[in-house]
Structure 1
Amino acid sequence: MRWYPLAREEARALLRSKGVWLLALVLLLWTYRPSYTVWNELGPDMTVGFLQFAGGIVVPIAAVILGYRSIVGERASGSLKFLLGLPLTRGEILLGKLVGRLAGIAIPAFLALGIVTVAGVVQYGLFSPLRYLAVFAVTALYFLALVSIVISVSAIVRRTTTAAATLFIGFILILEIFWQMFVPGIYSRLTGVPVNPYDPPAEGGLFLMDRLSPTGAYNVATNGILDAGNSAWHHSSAISVLRPGHSSNALAVGEAFDPGTAPLYLHEAGGIVILVAWIVTSLSIAYHRFDGGDLG
């Protein structure tokens, strides 16, 4: 594993920075969000749901801020040529950067989530350990998807400003913050099917499009584990939208489709497939461009 020393140095550099520990502090405040509605549905497993709130906007923004310069910054400063002088292939450099940044972000984040978990147990009692481990595993996969996207963009572009603009505008704003707001209009334009998000049609393509973002896919998978509803929105919204008499623009499969009629590709496990697709696709493109491109 010739890439390991590079990954170790990347992780150490991040862990020595204030940014990752600020992320941990924000996660402490952001994820501990008890709710009577969620408690009534999940009971003590509400604590497991706290982990899912890490899939809000905090971790994607942190991944971009802490990772967008990882490769393009070294290209701009000229230090990438030093790395190329080491007995490492370009693929190993890409892997070392990926693993190092992932570890540097995940360690403080999971430490914060561990503290939140302890607080939840003290306040609300013991939860299902299997459900917790499953959500934890999907959360780790989600972190990998986010870091893969950020590192890939950093490897492909030539300027730090291009990396920042691509990630903050294309990824954070469009794909993470506003995507689910755009989906009904985009789908209606593409298909001619009118979409009222408060009374969505039973259109498989609409619901598939709604869960294509990394966070949407993560929410689908973890909602399935929590048994909180098949939705790309976080579990508290998914639970609320399925309550009788409640109106919400959160798309939930159980609200639009009769039991047993939803397409197979809308199964909650599809969220994991989408996350893996983001990882494989982004890293494949990055490897192709980084391995064969001019790094001068």
Structure 2
Amino acid sequence: MRWYPLAREECKALLSSKGVWLLALALLLWTYRPSYDTWDGLGPDMTIGFVQFGAGLLLPLAAVVLGYQAIVGDRTSGSLTFVLGLPLTRGEILAGKLVGRTAAIAIPAVLSFVAVTVLGAVQYGLFSPLRYLAVLAVTLVYVTVLVSIVVSVSALVERTTTAAATLFVGLILIFELAWQFLSVTLYSRLTGVPVDPSNPPAEGGLFLLARLSPSGAYNTVTNWILDVGNSADFHNSVLQERQPNVNTNVLVVETTFDPGTVPPYLHEAGGLLVLAAWGLVPLAIAYYRFSRGDLT
């Protein structure tokens, strides 16, 4: 635990800035989104769905804005020389950066979610505490994965502008905002199978590809906990797709596959493996580069 003092300082520095509290305010204002369709599908557990919705849209942006300078910022400012002079291995430096920045994002996020939860419970009644705790736990894992990706990119590049551009284009635009659309297009190009998202074929590869982004994996797992359907989209969109005589562009296993024909690899638990891969693989690559390169 020699990395703990570094993690504490990273967390304190971010918590003393305005950015994390602007995140808390944004989550508070954005997360509370009741709707009749969601109430019909979840009842009081609609409050738990607020957490998924807020996390899926704002936490990736917060991780990038608050974390992209984690390593490369120290390099460009020259303070990395001091950090490398501490009695820490480079792996411990990465761990301190990761844990400290994860905590700094998780603390205001959890406070906002708790405030929204109290409001939802007062307005719509008591929800399932076990489901709530499970969704909150997966959300904290999701935050850790996002920060791991951001810190890893920050350790791999040489300029802050490169880190920011890579993360905004790659993580935010491609994997978080556009992946559900891009996965359909990519699958059609790779397989030659035309896909109409409003009437998708029962192709396991198509559904697997849609949940390979961090947000897709997160939604898949939290939808499983909420018991709304096997899908990588937000729970409210899944509930709409599952209504009679309603067709959307949302890929939902239950409305596409016949019972007993769903491939085992589409089980919702696979989302946890995808999250683990996103959290560990970039970090392993960053550790390899960080531990061997001259980064000062």
Q: Does 1:21 align with 2:25?
A: no
> Within 2, Cα distance between the matches of 1:294 and 1:247?
55
Deviations 1:119-142 (A, max 9, x none): 011001111111111111111111
User: Secondary structure, in 3 states, of the residue corresponding to 1:57?
Assistant: helix
Q: Does 1:92 align with 2:92?
A: yes
Query: Any unmatched runs of 5+ in structure 1?
Result: none
User: Secondary structure, in 3 states, of the residue corresponding to 1:135?
Assistant: helix
> Within 2, Cα distance between the matches of 1:165 and 1:102?
21
Show the 5 A alignment for 1:101-250. Answer: 101-250=101-250
**Alpha-carbon offset, residue 88 of structure 1:** 0.5
> Within 1, Cα distance between the matches of 2:70 and 2:261?
46
Q: Could you say which residue in structure 1 is the equivalent of 2:9?
A: 9
> After the TM superposition, which of the residue ranges 95-104 and 277-286 deviates more from structure 2?
277-286
Q: Could you say which residue in structure 2 is the equivalent of 1:79?
A: 79
Deviations 1:116-165 (A, max 9, x none): 00001100111111111111111111111100000000011111111011
8 Å CA contact 1:64, 1:168 repeated in 2: yes
**Alpha-carbon offset, residue 237 of structure 1:** 0.3
- Counterpart of 2:76 in structure 1: which amino acid? A
User: Secondary structure, in 3 states, of the residue corresponding to 1:97?
Assistant: helix
> Within 1, Cα distance between the matches of 2:255 and 2:291?
47
RMSD: 0.8
- Equivalent pairs, count: 296
Q: Could you say which residue in structure 1 is the equivalent of 2:60?
A: 60
> Within 1, Cα distance between the matches of 2:221 and 2:164?
29
> Within 2, Cα distance between the matches of 1:30 and 1:261?
38
**Alpha-carbon offset, residue 260 of structure 1:** 2.0
**Alpha-carbon offset, residue 264 of structure 1:** 0.9
User: Secondary structure, in 3 states, of the residue corresponding to 2:51?
Assistant: helix
8 Å CA contact 1:55, 1:215 repeated in 2: no
> Within 2, Cα distance between the matches of 1:257 and 1:239?
17
4+ runs deviating over 4 angstroms: none
Deviations 1:261-287 (A, max 9, x none): 111111111111110111111111111
**Alpha-carbon offset, residue 178 of structure 1:** 0.8
Identity %: 68
> Within 1, Cα distance between the matches of 2:57 and 2:123?
26
Query: Any unmatched runs of 5+ in structure 2?
Result: none
8 Å CA contact 1:28, 1:116 repeated in 2: yes
**Alpha-carbon offset, residue 231 of structure 1:** 0.7
Q: Could you say which residue in structure 2 is the equivalent of 1:266?
A: 266
Q: Does 1:291 align with 2:283?
A: no
> Within 2, Cα distance between the matches of 1:187 and 1:289?
32
TM-score (norm. length: structure 2)? 0.99
> Within 2, Cα distance between the matches of 1:133 and 1:15?
24
- Counterpart of 1:27 in structure 2: which amino acid? L
User: Secondary structure, in 3 states, of the residue corresponding to 1:172?
Assistant: helix
> Within 1, Cα distance between the matches of 2:187 and 2:278?
21
User: Secondary structure, in 3 states, of the residue corresponding to 1:88?
Assistant: coil
> Within 1, Cα distance between the matches of 2:196 and 2:209?
15
TM-score (norm. length: structure 1)? 0.99
> Within 2, Cα distance between the matches of 1:148 and 1:169?
17
> Within 2, Cα distance between the matches of 1:39 and 1:175?
29
- Counterpart of 1:20 in structure 2: which amino acid? V
**Alpha-carbon offset, residue 55 of structure 1:** 2.8
8 Å CA contact 1:55, 1:219 repeated in 2: no
8 Å CA contact 1:55, 1:218 repeated in 2: no
Deviations 1:187-219 (A, max 9, x none): 000001110000000011100110111011000
8 Å CA contact 1:28, 1:115 repeated in 2: yes
**Alpha-carbon offset, residue 247 of structure 1:** 1.4
> Within 1, Cα distance between the matches of 2:265 and 2:294?
40
Q: Could you say which residue in structure 1 is the equivalent of 2:42?
A: 42
> Within 2, Cα distance between the matches of 1:163 and 1:269?
31
